Amino acid sequence: MAKPPSKSTPYVLSLVRFLLGCLFVQHGLEKLWGFAGSRMDRDFSHLHGLAGPIEFAGGVFLILGLFIRPTAFILCGEMAVAYFVSWAPHGFWPISNGVGGELSVIDCFAFLWLVTAGAGPLSIDAFIKSRKVPGASDTGLAAILASWEGYARSILRMILAFLISLHGYRMMFGMFPLPPIRFKRAPMALDALPGMLGLVCIVGGLLLFLGLWTRITALVLWLQVAAAYLVSAAPRGLVPMRTGGEEVALYFILFAYFIVAGAGLWSLDYLLQKRQQSVTRLSATGSAARA
């Protein structure tokens, strides 16, 4: 469970980046062209209207895997501004301070992680790099950012753990109620599950926060959010942002990456792995000395 990422991890990264782009570009489409019955906002003199072209262009770049690190950096900043301007003033807890509080937090830290992770091999960025110097690796700033990926992944893991555990407390104990404005939208998919399944979110969130048994924990939570989407959001339509399923879709995508890649460097899994490696080296050294 604490083994290093597999050889398939970079390709899963590309898939995760692509799916994040597909979800995010919807918000640009709704503001610019009224996608999925939304109200258009082309008044670029204020933040909400200005977000439209940023979200559309950013989503397209994510889908294509083009200029990923600068794009993700800009989108991370946009989501941080959106959270503190639109949602934080209504309360501390992201799952109950507005329609998009939780969504903004997840997107913000997912984009922060992409700044370090890059686009993956299935991307225009990778194609351009291979054409310049075949087989070349990241250099300069890109190499420094890539070296921080294990830390950024750990931060993202802890944020997801915190948020999913809040859902567990809501499901089991009725804590962190939905804001009144949310009742005008489709219910959140996780809220449709039986309340006792909140225990999975609470225990899973704790283990995920600690980075303990991360792959198994992420798999269990991945199955739970998949069930929530299929039971609650999918029957309402194909557009996640209109069915109450966008947050769940984000969890689904990101938990899948943790199943494959593991916890990151700030985790108990990593510490246990290093300890096991030290024991193995000492054992090998002792065997060589006796020989």
DSSP string, 131-176: HHSTT----HHHHHHHHTHHHHHHHHHHHHHHHHHHHHHHHHH--S
Q: Is residue 22 part of a domain?
A: yes
In a domain, 99, yes or no: yes
Is 86 a domain residue?
A: yes
pLDDT the model gives residue 76? 98
Give dist(CA 149, CA 30) in Å, integer: 32
Which residue blocks in 174-213 are alpha helix, DSSP H? Answer: 198-210
Would residue 53 count as lying in a domain?
A: yes
The SS3 assignment for 218 reads helix
Q: The tokens of 101 are what?
A: 């509080």
What is the pTM for the complete model shown? Answer: 0.93
Averaged over 18-38, what is the pLDDT? 92
Kindly state the tokens that stand for 12: 């899963």
- Cα 157 to Cα 269: distance, rounded to the nearest angstrom: 13
52-86 residue pLDDT tens? 999 999 999 999 999 999 999 999 999 999 999 99
Residue 2 located in a structural domain: no
The pLDDT of residue 282 is 76
Q: Would 4 be classed as within a structural domain?
A: no
**Residue 1 counted as domain residue:** no
Query: In this predicted model, what pLDDT tens digit does every residue of 192-204 receive, in sequence order?
Result: 899 999 999 999 9
In this predicted structure, what is the pLDDT of residue 2? 47
Indicate whether 83 belongs to any domain.
Answer: yes
Give the number of other CB atoms < 10 A from CB of residue 247: 29
Q: What's the number of domains the chain is made of? A: 1
Of 186, 225, 189, nearest to 208 by C-alpha is 225
16-43 mean pLDDT: 91
CA distance linking residue 179 with residue 91, whole number of Å: 10
Q: Give dist(CA 24, CA 34) in Å, integer.
A: 15
206-248 tens-digit pLDDT: 999 999 999 999 999 999 999 999 999 999 999 998 888 999 9
Q: What's at 56, amino acid-wise?
A: F
Q: Which of 150-164, 249-263, 269-283 has the lowest mean pLDDT?
A: 269-283
Instruction: Look up the domain containing 244 and give its range.
Output: 9-285
Average pLDDT over residues 163-184: 85
Cβ–Cβ < 8 Å for 238, 201? no
Distance CA 64, CA 108 (A): 19
Contact 270/211 with Cβ under 8 angstroms?
A: yes
pLDDT higher than 70, residue 106: yes
Show Cβ contacts of residue 152 under 8 Å, excluding neighbours closer than 6 positions. Answer: 112, 113, 115, 116, 117, 264
Model confidence at 132: pLDDT above 80: no
Tokens of 234: 């999918």
